Amino acid sequence: MNLVSTMIGLSVMGIAAPTIMDISIAPVIAQKRANNFGIAESAAVIYAAKNANKTSLSAIPDNCDRADLGDRSYEISCRGGEGKYQQIVKRSFRLQPDDNNSPGDNNSTTRRFPYDDPGFLTRHHQCPETDPYGVEGTWINTYGKKTGCMPQAAWTKTKYLASNPDSWLYDINNIKGYGPHPDY
């Protein structure tokens, strides 16, 4: 009886050994991946933070690649580790808009608006529905006077072309490089 029990026990151990081995090294693998993720994450976040809202790009770190997404937007992709434990992290950011795409880029002095051009508009924050041009205090009270939100009438080219220049609160002609408004 002892011989049969021993043989069955050894057979079960032989079958279960690979599973037990995987279970025992799983935390080590998870820790290695977490460390590699931390390396990639810190490189991507630091690069995006250093370049966001700047006028030019800095040098790319050795373990990273940069992709141009258009409209002065970029994506940085950084790697941490090697082989099957390698982790990749991507972060997107934008540079400051070109001066030639600012509101009021129309060379016209005949049209008048109730509000002055707010200056630098963020290209990636849409004005709220309750304050579609960001002039009634919602945007300024929340984010300060250094930036303005993108008017809802200029959020897409379709909305821009469908808008009526007579109802604009400030001059958004040729905003985001959409070209002169046909009704301007």
DSSP per residue, 96-158: PPPGGGSTTTT---S---SS---S-EEEEEEPPTTSTTS-SSHHHHHH-TT-EEEPGGGSSHH
What letter represents residue 69's amino acid?
Answer: L
Residue 36's pLDDT is 94
- Would you give the distance in Å from CA 23 to the centre of its chain? 37
Look at residue 183 and tell me if it is in a domain.
no
Q: Are residues 67 and 24 in the same domain?
A: yes
**Of 49, 72, 94, which residue constitutes the final position of a domain?**
94
Q: Is the pLDDT of residue 99 over 60?
A: no
Look at residue 125 and tell me if it is in a domain.
yes
Between 21 and 41, the higher pLDDT residue: 41
Counting the structural domains of the chain, the total is: 2
User: From CA 18, how far away is CA 25, in angstroms rounded?
Assistant: 11
Ranked by mean pLDDT, which of 23-27, 45-49, 94-98, 129-133 comes out on top?
Answer: 45-49
Domain that holds residue 38: 2-94
Q: Are residues 150 and 171 in the same domain?
A: yes
Q: 3-class DSSP state for residue 92?
A: strand
154, 178 Cβ separation under 8 angstroms: yes
Residue 70's pLDDT is 82
pTM above 0.85, yes or no: no
pLDDT band at 77 (very low <50, low <70, confident <90, very high): very high
Q: Are residues 15 and 83 in the same domain?
A: yes
**What region, left, alpha or beta, does residue 103 occupy, with left being phi > 0 and alpha being psi -120 to 50 degrees?**
beta
